[in-house]
């Protein structure tokens, strides 16, 4: 049998696809069932249903693994057709002979999975559909090592014949798959940041990094995809608003591709079950680990002091 990490990622790719289908079905039916959880913080029926699908499916396949999802839900039974049991063969094939030795012996109790059933909820409700992703991040002993980012509306403006949706996945030491890997353009400094959760500190930090262009878009998953595809040079978010489920999967795919995701002090995120949910130190992502320090050094002291280390 394949190592646990390989099976987890291969199953998570199938589960994220299934959840993405639920996200699309709910929007096409038209009743989003929006609930306000807090200030500028919404949940829809798609967030709730996709999380039920993902948690029930993971629990069925891996009953001993800890899983945390963004939404607080009751334990109502999940429709049988939402339980995804297939395994993505592409992941099994690609990972065979490549998984680092350190990940081969990982046990159930070492693992914590962080699930964002719908990242970019604000943009989903506003019709900015390619900003939406489904995130499943896998941490081992508190460090993010593998992730799945499913983009359910990829290609939605490319015409009827285009295949809708794509899966991006990555494992540290194996690589990142399912997207184009481009370098960002030389001579520019394109910075991506939040579209719907901006603050004075967010703007100060972006401006201090001397952007030639600012891409204000939704979703932590989507912003990391922009970096992986060479559309942005950095993801700069000087706010305590992102949580563990926002960063776990994006961090793994970015690190597996040679990039870096930390808080704005340069500290690594940790993901053990008891960790505080908020990434209070903000988020900084770059496509090449060696470029990270330049951005860290440009974050104003005033902004750093206002964001406690996570």
Applying CB under 6 A, among 71, 84, 130, 246 the residue interacting with ligand A3P is: 246
The binder of 197, among ligand A3P, Mg ion, none, by C-beta within 5 to 8 A per type, is: ligand A3P
Chain positions 132 to 191 lying near ligand A3P, rule: CB under 6 A, are none
Closest among 162, 156, 161, 159 to 130, alpha carbons compared: 156
Minimum distance between the CB of residue 108 and ligand A3P, rounded to whole angstroms? 27
Minimum distance between the CB of residue 263 and ligand A3P, rounded to whole angstroms? 14
Any contact of residue 251 with Mg ion (CB under 5 A)?
no
Distance CA 272, CA 87 (A): 26
For residues 110 and 141, the answer to whether their CB atoms sit within 8 Å is: yes
Closest among 295, 218, 232 to 264, alpha carbons compared: 295
Q: Does the annotation place 246 within a ligand binding site? A: yes
Between 86 and 126, whose beta carbon lies closer to ligand A3P?
126
Q: Does the annotation place 70 within a ligand binding site? A: yes
Distance CA 107, CA 4 (A): 7
Backbone angles phi, psi at 104, to 5 degrees: -75, -30
Applying CB under 5 A, among 246, 247, 285, 303 the residue interacting with Mg ion is: 246
Is 121 labeled as catalytic in the residue annotation?
yes
For residues 134 and 149, the answer to whether their CB atoms sit within 8 Å is: yes
Applying CB under 6 A, among 5, 17, 103, 119 the residue interacting with ligand A3P is: 119
Give how far Cα 87 sits from Cα of 9, 53, 137, Å. 9, 15, 17
Which residue of the set 6, 44, 121, 176 is catalytic?
121
Minimum distance between the CB of residue 102 and ligand A3P, rounded to whole angstroms? 30
The binder of 241, among ligand A3P, Mg ion, none, by C-beta within 5 to 8 A per type, is: ligand A3P
Kindly give the pairing relationship between strand 175-177 and strand 190-193: unpaired
Which residue of the set 6, 11, 44, 47 is catalytic?
47
Minimum distance between the CB of residue 224 and ligand A3P, rounded to whole angstroms? 11
Buried b (16+ CB within 10 A) or exposed e, 51-81: bbbbbbbbeebbeebebbbbbeeeeeebeee
Is 47 labeled as catalytic in the residue annotation?
yes
Q: Does the annotation place 31 within a ligand binding site? A: no
Any contact of residue 70 with Mg ion (CB under 5 A)?
yes
Between 244 and 304, whose beta carbon lies closer to Mg ion?
244
Between 165 and 219, whose beta carbon lies closer to ligand A3P?
219
**Three-class secondary structure of residue 191 per DSSP:** strand
Closest among 263, 6, 244 to 115, alpha carbons compared: 244
Q: Copy the structure tokens of residue 44.
A: 């829809």
Give me the active site residues, please.
47, 121
Q: Which residues bind Mg ion (CB under 5 A)?
A: 70, 116, 118-119, 121, 246
* Residues found near ligand A3P in the complex (CB under 6 A): 40-41, 70, 116, 118-121, 194, 196-197, 218-220, 239, 241-242, 246
State the binding site.
Answer: 70, 116, 118-119, 246
């Amino acid at each position: 049998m394949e190592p646990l990490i390989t099976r987890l990622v291969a199953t998570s790719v199938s589960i994220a696809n299934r959840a993405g289908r639920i996200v699309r079905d709910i929007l096409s039916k038209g009743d989003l069932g929006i609930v306000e959880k807090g200030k500028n913080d919404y949940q829809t029926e798609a967030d709730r249903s996709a999380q039920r699908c993902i948690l029930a499916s993971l629990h069925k396949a891996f009953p001993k693994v800890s899983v945390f999802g963004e939404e607080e839900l009751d334990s109502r039974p999940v429709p049988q057709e939402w339980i995804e049991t297939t395994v993505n063969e592409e992941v099994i094939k690609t990972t065979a002979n490549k998984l680092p030795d350190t990940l081969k012996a990982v046990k159930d109790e070492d693992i914590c999975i962080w699930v964002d059933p719908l990242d970019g909820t604000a943009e989903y409700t506003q019709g900015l559909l390619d900003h939406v992703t489904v995130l499943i991040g896998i941490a081992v002993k508190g460090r993010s090592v593998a992730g799945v980012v499913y983009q359910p509306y990829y290609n939605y403006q490319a015409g009827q014949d285009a295949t809708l949706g794509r899966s991006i996945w990555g494992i540290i030491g194996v690589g990142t798959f399912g997207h184009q890997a481009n370098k960002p353009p030389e001579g520019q400094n394109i910075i991506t940041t939040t579209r719907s959760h901006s603050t004075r500190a967010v703007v100060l930090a972006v401006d201090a990094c001397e952007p030639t262009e600012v891409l204000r878009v939704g979703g932590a998953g989507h912003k990391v995809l922009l970096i992986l595809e060479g559309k942005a040079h950095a993801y700069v978010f000087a706010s305590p608003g992102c949580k563990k489920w926002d960063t776990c999967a994006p961090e793994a795919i970015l690190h597996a591709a040679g990039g870096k995701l930390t808080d704005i002090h340069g500290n690594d995120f940790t993901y053990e079950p008891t960790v505080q949910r908020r990434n209070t130190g903000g988020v900084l992502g770059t496509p090449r680990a060696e470029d990270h320090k330049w951005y860290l050094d440009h974050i104003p002291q005033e902004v750093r002091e206002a964001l406690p280390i996570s």
